[in-house]
């Protein structure tokens, strides 16, 4: 993961007292959720990140030499009612999730945290035991789009979805079955 670390973070990694942390940004229509793997409120990037150390776990994002879409899961246990309501009522599929990696050294954030994973929310299964609720956010890597078919056509209507004033495919329908005599 060192390929994205700043010089200050690489230097701090060798310090005797360094504490790694993660920041998770979930973008919903009703508002963004910003949480981090520590206690209390952390101010970074112009936002306040709510500490969820005791209730949040993040699976490790994995990489390999092949081009594969590998996701991760963020699990949160003992959630407040408003977050549980968000998981039940919000249209969450396809929303952006960004996970940042950062470090504390000497009680201060070292440099700027770097993006360790970015993807789209796929599922949010809820596990309710009666006493506590666990919401797991399953996030797909952006590479998952390589497996999806593109349902676009060479038609005037399809072209106008992106470029309403374009007339480049205006006559496509009329010339489709038109016979062309070559060499006469």
pLDDT of amino acid 107: 76
Rounded Cα distance, 39 and 74, in Å: 17
Q: Which residue has the higher pLDDT, 54 or 125?
A: 125
User: Residue 121 pLDDT more than 70?
Assistant: yes
pLDDT of amino acid 63: 64
pLDDT of amino acid 48: 92
User: Residue 165 pLDDT more than 90?
Assistant: yes
Is the CB of residue 135 less than 8 Å from the CB of residue 52?
no
Rounded Cα distance, 74 and 147, in Å: 23
- Its pTM surpasses 0.75: no
56-58 vs 96-105, strand pairing mode: unpaired
* The two structure tokens encoding residue 68: 């594969």
Q: Which residue has the higher pLDDT, 14 or 155?
A: 155
* The two structure tokens encoding residue 181: 């005599």
Mean pLDDT of 37-55: 85
Per-residue model confidence as pLDDT tens digits over 56-78: 778 876 666 776 667 888 888 87
- Measured over the CA atoms of residue 52, residue 57, residue 63 and residue 67, the dihedral's sign is negative
């Amino acid at each position: 993961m060192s390929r994205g670390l700043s010089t200050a973070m690489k230097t701090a990694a060798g310090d005797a007292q360094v504490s790694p942390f993660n920041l998770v940004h979930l973008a919903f229509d009703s508002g963004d959720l910003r949480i981090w793997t520590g206690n209390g409120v952390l101010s970074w990037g112009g936002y306040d990140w709510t500490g969820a150390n005791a209730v949040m776990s993040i699976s490790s994002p994995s990489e390999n030499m092949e081009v594969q879409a590998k996701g991760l899961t963020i699990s949160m246990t003992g959630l407040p009612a408003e977050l549980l309501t968000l998981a039940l009522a919000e249209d969450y599929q396809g929303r952006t999730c960004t996970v940042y990696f950062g470090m504390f050294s000497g009680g201060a954030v070292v440099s700027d945290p770097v993006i360790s994973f970015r993807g789209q929310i796929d599922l949010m299964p809820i596990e309710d035991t009666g006493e506590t609720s666990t919401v797991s956010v399953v996030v797909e890597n952006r590479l998952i789009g390589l497996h999806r078919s593109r349902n676009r056509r060479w038609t005037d209507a399809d072209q106008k979805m992106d470029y309403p004033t374009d007339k480049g495919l205006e006559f496509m329908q009329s010339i489709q079955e038109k016979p062309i005599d070559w060499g006469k």
